[in-house]
Amino acid sequence: MVRAIAVWIGIGLLGASICAQEAKPRFDVASVKLAESKILQIGPIPQALPGGRFYAGVATVADLLWFAHDLRPHRIAGGPDWVRRDRFEISARAVVDVPSDQIKKMVRSLLEDRFKLVTHMETRELPFLALVRARPDGALGPALIRIDECSPATINELRQKFPDKYPTPGNGMASGCSSMGLDNLAQLLSIGSTPVIDATGLTDSFYFSIRSQRSLAGSAGLNSSDLNLPALSTALNEQLGLRLESRRGPVEVLVIDSVQPPNEN
């Protein structure tokens, strides 16, 4: 009798495991194909769309990973060169409309199913630049302004009503908004493979604007050849009340164990 109960428990656990695997969210239909060579190496970033849809115009596997796991590029390690070089056009759709968080889980399943992707998380000691407050009293610069929210509508309204205080990118100026701290600004400041991490301790939302000789990643309007503009370190200090500090410490990264080029369809 005891043995029979144990067998049924074992079968029940196996059935629960199988159901859990089957319950992993997946797209109803998905198209994956290598992006045409005539397409420039920039395009629509991976994005969740209304109606349970997902689209990535010219995305690498690394792009898909940072979207699916909410990880910045420096936290994705390993894998062959092509995962950061080869670009794919991917269009997918769920059976019903689902929130963006669910779409991200479906992209993880797509990577596992179509690219045979296997990954794991681990902590590594890595060098990075910490974005910190520059002034002993912690005071911020005049171009770093606390705001209530960072929605596009709010930003557009502020730029239209108060163009001097909330300048639009261009003419040697980079500007933007960062929610709940300065992580967005830190990402724009990232230089090559060296990440910049927000270590200011700030938790509010901010509008920032900066004039500097060096362009910020992913921003427009800066002219690095204009010697009349201040160096980046000077601009950060005087305009934002911040500076970059070299550090080394533990960073949790997603490691690619194995991956294969997908079969197109």
Q: Any idea which of 13-22, 81-90, 162-171, 252-261 has the lowest mean pLDDT?
A: 13-22
Q: Torsion angle, CA of 86/79/72/173, rounded to 10 degrees?
A: -40
Q: What pLDDT does 191 receive?
A: 64
pLDDT computed for residue 265 by the predictor = 74
Residue 234: pLDDT over 90: yes
Mean pLDDT for the chain overall: 85
**pLDDT of 53 strictly over 60:** yes
Question: Which tens digit of pLDDT belongs to each residue from 165-208?
Answer: 999 887 778 899 998 899 989 988 876 668 889 999 999 999 99
Alpha-carbon torsion 60, 61, 65, 71, what sign? negative
For residue 21, give every residue at least 6 positions away whose Cβ sits within 8 Å of its Cβ, in sequence order, or none.
Answer: none
pTM across the whole model? 0.66
Nearest by Cα to 71 from 206, 195, 245? 195
Give the Cα separation of 77 and 12 in Å (integer): 38
Q: What is the pLDDT of residue 225?
A: 54
Angle at 55 between CA 53 and CA 58, to 5 degrees: 175
Q: What pLDDT is recorded for position 194?
A: 80
Q: Give the range among 36-40, 132-136, 230-234 with minimum mean pLDDT.
A: 36-40
Q: What pLDDT does 187 receive?
A: 84
The pLDDT-based confidence of 111 (bands split at 50, 70, 90) is: very high
Q: What is the mean pLDDT of residues 140-147?
A: 96
Give the model confidence (pLDDT) of 205-228 as tens digits.
999 999 887 766 544 444 455 667
Torsion sign across C-alpha atoms 245, 246, 251, 254: positive
pLDDT at 13 over 50: no
Residue 235 scores a pLDDT above 90: yes
Q: What is the pLDDT averaged over residues 109-116?
A: 96
What CA–CA distances, in Å, run from 203 to 70, 179, 200, 210? 19, 8, 9, 20
pLDDT bracket for residue 241 (50, 70, 90): very high
Q: Is residue 39's pLDDT more than 80?
A: no
